[in-house]
Amino acid sequence: MEKNINVTLKIWRQSGPKAKGKFETYKLDQVSTDSSFLEMLDVLNEKLINEHKEPIAFDHDCREGICGMCSLFINGHPHGLDPGTTTCQLHMRRFNNGATITIEPWRSAAFPVIKDLMVDRSAFDKIIQAGGFVSVNTGGVPDGNALPISKVDSDEAMDAASCIGCGACVATCKNSSAMLFVAAKVSQLALLPQGKVEAAHRAKAMVAKMDELGFGNCTNTGACEAECPKNVSISHIARLNREFLNAKFKD
């Protein structure tokens, strides 16, 4: 049954990358518990616009848990408290009446704030451009399906490919490491025949680009796996390390 709650929102406001940011507090009454977290922010922005105030900038796109754009740090957790859930899949029924909700952008030197809750995550795109692709021609779809791939390998490759590149792993890591993201992208290709041709170059190039862009080192705390909305396993980091060492030995 639908009901309404009243919430207090402490939201990070920052006018630009070089500006000094601060938390601002907003009261929002009669919020439907059937609404999603982003719909709640839409309601707040409509209220601010009606009051001739600056609306809050935040990222979103598909609102179906696929694109990874909804990058919000909610009450100390990327995407909120619910495991295996993106911000757009989080609903207001998760919060109690009278709750105070703190909302921040991703905190990482590699993800500079653009405005308010929006950050520049183009560093991930640069890592993909460095080696997260297959340039070998594998033919059409029927030819691709004809390649023998074991069920175990195909399942694990699909699990790695489920990474949506949202950056929650970076946001929750004490070192702002991108190892889980890079490992997922390397792992999904390392397990497939199409990815073997460039395997050595891929591992070295993507790790080098990750380091160049200012991401920190992995210390295996497991926080990235715990907060990943797609439950990507840190076992992929072990495969990335093996791929990287194999590439170095070949050199």
At 1 the pLDDT is 55
- If you average pLDDT over residues 9-22, what whole number do you get? 96
At 238 the pLDDT is 95
DSSP state of 54: P
Tokens linked to 176 = 């702002």
Q: How far is CA 138 from the centre of its chain?
A: 30
Bridge partners for 27 per DSSP:
8
Alpha-carbon distance of 160 to 247, in angstroms, equals 20
Of 251, 148, 136, give the one whose Cα is nearest residue 197: 136
Percent of the chain with pLDDT over 70: 96
Confidence of residue 134 (pLDDT cuts 50, 70, 90): confident
Tens of pLDDT along 192-216?
Answer: 888 888 888 999 999 999 999 999 9
Average pLDDT, the chain: 93
At 142 the pLDDT is 65
Q: Judge whether residue 126 has pLDDT over 70.
A: yes
Residue type at 194 in one-letter notation = Q
Confidence of residue 144 (pLDDT cuts 50, 70, 90): low
Indicate the angle between helix axes 179-190 and 235-250, nearest 10 degrees.
Answer: 70
Residue type at 129 in one-letter notation = Q
* Sheet order of strands, 100-104 included: 22-32, 4-13, 100-104, 73-74, 77-78
> Which of 131-145, 173-187, 221-235 is least confident?
131-145
DSSP assignments along 111-162, one per residue:
S-EEETTEE--HHHHHHHHHH-S--S---SHHHHHTS---HHHHHHHHHHHT
DSSP state of 216: B
Residue type at 34 in one-letter notation = D
Rounded to 5 degrees, φ, ψ at 2 are -70, 140
At 18 the pLDDT is 92
At 172 the pLDDT is 96
Tokens linked to 114 = 């653009």
Confidence of residue 146 (pLDDT cuts 50, 70, 90): confident
At 75 the pLDDT is 97
Alpha-carbon distance of 106 to 198, in angstroms, equals 32
> Residues for the chain: how many in total?
251
pLDDT higher for 19 or 137?
A: 19
At 137 the pLDDT is 72
Q: Judge whether residue 140 has pLDDT over 80.
A: no
Tens of pLDDT along 64-121?
Answer: 999 999 999 999 999 999 999 999 999 999 999 999 999 999 999 999 999 999 999 9
* Domains of the chain by start residue, with CATH: 4-115 (3.10.20.30), 121-250 (1.10.1060.10)
